[in-house]
Amino acid sequence: MNILDKIVADKHKEVELRKSIIPVQQLENSVLFNRQGNSLAEALLNSDTGIIAEHKRRSPSKAVINQKVSVQDVAIGYETAGVCGMSVLTDGKYFGGSLDDLILARASASMPLLRKEFIIDEYQLLEAKAYGADVILLIAAVLSRDEIKSLSEFAKKLSLDVLLEVHNLEELEKSIMPSLDMLGVNNRNLKTFEVSTDVSKELSKHIPDDFVKVSESGISSIEAIKDLQQYDYKGFLIGENFMKTENPGQSAIEFLKALQS
């Protein structure tokens, strides 16, 4: 079993437990459920920088990254930096995140928020809405085409943007459908943890123009972004590069200043 299989097996158990604790109706009745969302896809299309900055305490590939900062301070710093959106990891077991992180980020900032999660069930989309997300991630490596279709169509009914993540051509070809807003290429192989932005460059020509292109993981320099922009990428998801510093918000401020100069 690789790490992704383990995460998904645990996620199935976790989601069943969560469903038994918080019924759907309670999620639908929550204050944020009917909030008008902000589109990350639109923010990326209207930006010259396209940064999506992530809150990530730890990860299977890097163990501890930053357990000290508060998610509120990080959200305020990222918004001050002028990022297009913030990705909030909500998985507890492998990333040290939670839905509380999402709601605290929502309370601190108005930018689009991505619920970064291993989504396998519609219930998680209702949670995303109830805890203040604007965008959800679907990972092609763990979903069939039919699952991607039903989850993305349900997300659109909830007015959530959909970022579909792929790592190779096979995943991309099985996933293309109109209910997706953004196509993300993860430069990290989630089974081996190898990282290379060449993956984004190679797949870019296969992504139809109707989707906003996002390059994810292993991005830590202005040069890498300028290079990926040549391949028509509009969004750049950056986690560790900011989170490994003492003040991720300040790091994002400096990074965006350098990117714009």
Ligand X SMILES: O=C(O)c1ccccc1NCC(=O)[C@H](O)[C@H](O)COP(=O)(O)O
CA distances from 169 to 63, 203, 215 (A): 29, 7, 15
Phi, psi at 230, each rounded to 5°: -65, -20
Q: Are 77 and 248 in contact (CB under 8 A)?
A: yes
* Alpha helices by DSSP H, the chain: 3-21, 24-28, 40-45, 71-81, 99-108, 122-130, 145-157, 169-175, 198-204, 222-229, 240-243, 248-260
* Alpha helices by DSSP H, 119-175: 122-130, 145-157, 169-175
Q: Which two tokens stand for residue 225?
A: 């972004």
What is the β-pairing status of strands 51-55 and 235-238?
A: parallel
**Alpha carbons 222 and 228: distance in angstroms, whole number:** 10
Under DSSP, is residue 135 helix (H, G, I), strand (E, B) or coil? strand
**Alpha carbons 30 and 32: distance in angstroms, whole number:** 6
Q: Mind telling me the catalytic residues?
A: 54, 56, 116, 165, 186, 216-217
Q: What is the 3-state secondary structure (H, E, C) of 49-61?
A: CCEEEEECCEECC
CA 1 to chain centre: 24
Q: Which residues bind ligand X (CB under 6 A)?
A: 3, 54, 56, 59-61, 186, 188, 190, 193, 216-219, 237-241
- Output the residue with the shortest Cβ distance to ligand X: 239
Cβ closest to ligand X, residue 27 vs residue 219: 219
